[in-house]
Each structure stands twice: as structure tokens, then as C-alpha cells.
Amino acid sequence: AQSVTQLGSHVSVSEGALVLLRCNYSSSVPPYLFWYVQYPNQGLQLLLKYTTGATLVKGINGFEAEFKKSETSFHLTKPSAHMSDAAEYFCAVSLTRGFQKLVFGTGTRLLVSP
């Protein structure tokens, strides 16, 4: 069975500071990995995904994540936080074969202060 662990239910940063949101996964086979963002009262928007190939993936809004197989991690980073980045961020994993379900982590709420 697959699972996702997101360390830290809340992360607070100052505007302009580095954003680091942690995600570790467990999967019996090489997974597909995703980061989704949820703004208040809105749905889930895909930030970025790792399927195959380059382990450093770039997404929208300046976010990127690196797949590290040896550490079973897929941490999300952004060099400089903006106020508009304040949202809930979900890491998710799926099996690579077929149209598999997404298994989500519990989410991390990012708070950005001026």
C-alpha cells in the first residue's frame, strides 16, 4: 500500500524567505508524485508532478520539487515566498501503472507574513 507523510501541519515564513514543505512517501513500486495547492474555498490545483526522467521538476508559480529515491522524499521548495503563496499544500502519490488513484498526505498550511 502507498502512503504519504507531510511533516508539519503548518509552516510559517516571511515574505521573501525560502519555502520548504516536506513530503516523504512509501510505495512498493516506483511512484508518480504530485504536489497540489488548495486556496481557501477552492479546489485542488496541480503545482507539479514527477513521473519519469529528470528528478528535479519545476512547476507553476516558481515552485520546484526534487525526487530523491534514496530518501523516499519529494520536498517542495520556492526560493522566495509571496503573500499569494499562502494556501494548503498536498503531496500525493500514485502507482505508475494504469489510471491509479491518488493517495494524499494530510496537507501543510503555508502562512506567509509581511
User: Interacting stretch for another protein, rule CB under 8 A, among 12-20, 22-30, 53-61, 91-99?
Assistant: 91-99
Interacting residues of 18 by C-beta distance below 8 A, sequence separation 6+: 77, 78, 79, 80, 81
Binding of residue 24 to another protein (CB under 8 A)? no
What is the rounded distance in angstroms from the CA atom of residue 29 to the CA atom of residue 2? Answer: 9
Label the pairing between strands 56-58 and 64-68.
Answer: antiparallel
Provide the mask over 50-89, with x wherever binding to another protein is found by CB under 8 A and - wherever it is not. -x--------------------------------------
- Residues interacting with another protein, by CB under 8 A? 32, 36, 42-46, 49, 51, 90, 92, 94, 96, 98-107
